[in-house]
Structure 1
């Protein structure tokens, strides 16, 4: 078989079942591709020994006829997931040297299903960023390029390494996490599929926390069918996570009929932003037309509190980050700064955190600490929580009126160049999340599907937002959109 690393999860699964290929062969093809792609800086901790050991075990399971769908399939794991005995740094200097003695629930479930871990993937530090430029490992690089331009582009963030690795065929799929768009925005920037499930669908246990009421893990894959296959393996109730939902996990793949006749798809007028590029506007209109042609009814809807979503998110997320990151103090694990003679515990905390956290993490921790402080708690944090409730109610009202899914752009632009958005204006960077943060604030499932190319040949994605707990229905609508869009473009290999 030619270029095994280019297979989708579904194709590789079927090839394994038919004994056309072994998991070891698949894994070796991916390991070879990873070693040849160091310039993308997607894999930051390679684990070839673990990968080959798991691949051999998977081949035995397949031979014995006891193999779940993910068995033998090589995947990458975002560095935010704790993996036993393997560095799990959340791309931060402060967790340098941390090798957990336990496995995150999601990565454990994937391992139990027979998936093969190839290594850990690059990301923004503590998942804070939209461009993968805040990582202690350096920038992850998008395998796509603008026309004949050699400028390196961002793969998006925070799951930039995951997006880059899947788009460049270094692995068949990868895990990501999404706090304000960190699965969907990089998926859109790299021409792959990424789904953020309903809050509580995947366990957060063993995933380094950023903002606990917003974080959710999900798969990043080459197509919608793969997303359905991998999501099923990642979901399920976990008694170790108090926010994990005690709900049966359906067979998502079996729900992919592509039939969306009679479904109501909402187009929110508030997402028509001033200055939206004409290409994004056209893609959105084309997407609505494709769904209409597939038999769906397209209706205009209103989500009136959308304009407050970004400000509310950038109060709530840093507040929770400030609280979650207080534990990184140089005492229990990770890095401790060199102390001078006579330094006490306060100096140790200050020096360790100043050295260990990058600028973006420091900025968010300070914002969060400020909005939680005695004089400002009500003015900022409590007010943001009230706005969040209103945003959630907007969606509830729309779904109560019979809308099945909502169609929006995934990002306000195609991938931009690394270094193009400077530190000087962090708000410019935060605006990348304008279409995605509402979904996290409301705890809803959202999926990004590649739907076209811009004038420079870069991929653009459309986002579908679904009803809570109805990922199967959402995936089916995404499947219909994917079939209609017919996106098959791949980046030209330059690395």
Structure 2
């Protein structure tokens, strides 16, 4: 319901002359109150595609809990009357999609530069991505998994020789996705948010993510809880596992209805332990000033000098 309410507010903006994509929004989805209809859907009779290429069926401590949670969720959906359609097309491989069709490294610097140079931005601020990554000491801090991305983005652009081929691949993926919807007469497509459990806080990277499909094709997607891994010393309530529900363009209303019905069907949410604690809060006459310390940054997080 919170997501539906937030989307209602964001979608009420209408056409934004600073964002030409908003001109493509159909009149049928302008001014929609997503919160008003979120509880009106039904799972019975829905045709839901299952992207088998977005699962890692190799048994391990990291993948088995995800597969078990997803299989249990799919069984509940089938019992609720949904029709599950297996999708086995080889194009749906998140690792390959990320390496072959991702244009972010080429576009990121130019897009950020254009944003930072908007006349509507006021006050003192960097005007380029390079300046943004500089600080008074000439250093920047990036988590290890993003270090290569940032350093590549700072020297890449849409004029790179390989950009057009990568962009064309993404467009072909978008067409293939819509073809999959049409050929199978699907209402939505399901897959685990990640092939494996999320890593612990402080880990240098997160592998196995599947969110790249929606990001590259520009279609709507919503994530719902699918289950938890077994309880352990490091995860006293288990590690949460998510499922993505992906739809055709401009079907946000339907996706939110499906997500609501799945949450009501599964009811797998668990309150984290920290949320059950009671914390005594001091009364302050003024907001205290906090200066972050950089002394405890692990060595795995590199400091690069531009």
Shift of 1:414: 3.3
Match of 2:258?
A: 477
Change in CA separation of 1:348 and 1:451 when aligned onto 2, cut-off 3 Å: closer
User: Could you state the TM-score of these two structures normalised by the residue count of structure 2?
Assistant: 0.70
Match of 1:311?
A: 99
Match of 2:3?
A: 227
Match for 2:70 among 278, 284, 293?
A: 284
Q: Distance in 2 between matches of 1:467 and 1:348?
A: 38
Q: Distance in 2 between matches of 1:263 and 1:409?
A: 19
Match of 1:397?
A: 179
Instruction: Give unmatched runs, 5+ long, in structure 2.
Output: 118-122, 232-237, 280-306
1:242 corresponds to 2:20? yes
Task: Indicate the structure whose relative CO is greater, using CA pairs within 8 Å and at least 6 residues apart.
Answer: 2
Match for 2:167 among 385, 388, 391?
A: 385
Shift of 1:321: 1.4
Shift of 1:326: 3.8
Q: Distance in 2 between matches of 1:475 and 1:272?
A: 23
Residues 344-359 of structure 1: matches in 2 within 5 Å?
A: 355=138, 357-359=140-142
1:306 partner SS: coil
Change in CA separation of 1:446 and 1:398 when aligned onto 2, cut-off 3 Å: same
1:302 corresponds to 2:302? no
Shift of 1:350: 9.7
Match of 2:223?
A: 448
Give the alignment's Cα RMSD to 1 decimal. 3.1
User: Could you state the TM-score of these two structures normalised by the residue count of structure 1?
Assistant: 0.45
- Superimposed CA distance per residue, residues 63-118 of structure 1 (whole angstroms, 9 cap, x where no aligned partner): xxxxxxxxxxxxxxxxxxxxxxxxxxxxxxxxxxxxxxxxxxxxxxxxxxxxxxxx
Q: Indicate conservation of the 8 Å contact 1:232/1:251, yes or no.
A: yes
Shift of 1:439: 0.6
Match for 2:213 among 415, 418, 438?
A: 438
Aligned residues: 248
Match of 2:284?
A: none
Match of 1:368?
A: 153
Residues 322-341 of structure 1: matches in 2 within 5 Å?
A: 322-326=109-113, 333-334=124-125
Deviates more, 1:480-489 or 1:233-242: 233-242
Match of 2:36?
A: 254
Shift of 1:335: 6.1
1:271 corresponds to 2:54? yes
Q: Distance in 2 between matches of 1:312 and 1:385?
A: 9
1:419 corresponds to 2:202? yes
- Superimposed CA distance per residue, residues 205-226 of structure 1 (whole angstroms, 9 cap, x where no aligned partner): xxxxxxxxxxxxxxxxxxxx22
Shift of 1:405: 0.5
Change in CA separation of 1:370 and 1:312 when aligned onto 2, cut-off 3 Å: farther
Change in CA separation of 1:358 and 1:294 when aligned onto 2, cut-off 3 Å: same
Shift of 1:364: 2.8
Q: Indicate conservation of the 8 Å contact 2:57/2:63, yes or no.
A: no
Residues 151-162 of structure 1: matches in 2 within 5 Å?
A: none
2:198 partner SS: coil
Change in CA separation of 1:295 and 1:351 when aligned onto 2, cut-off 3 Å: closer
Change in CA separation of 1:439 and 1:492 when aligned onto 2, cut-off 3 Å: same
Q: Distance in 2 between matches of 1:348 and 1:372?
A: 17
Residues 104-119 of structure 1: matches in 2 within 5 Å?
A: none
Q: Indicate conservation of the 8 Å contact 1:371/1:381, yes or no.
A: no
Shift of 1:303: 4.2
Shift of 1:417: 1.8
Q: Distance in 2 between matches of 1:352 and 1:453?
A: 41
Shift of 1:369: 5.0
Match of 1:114?
A: none
2:194 partner SS: coil
Q: Indicate conservation of the 8 Å contact 2:57/2:64, yes or no.
A: no
- Superimposed CA distance per residue, residues 1-47 of structure 1 (whole angstroms, 9 cap, x where no aligned partner): xxxxxxxxxxxxxxxxxxxxxxxxxxxxxxxxxxxxxxxxxxxxxxx
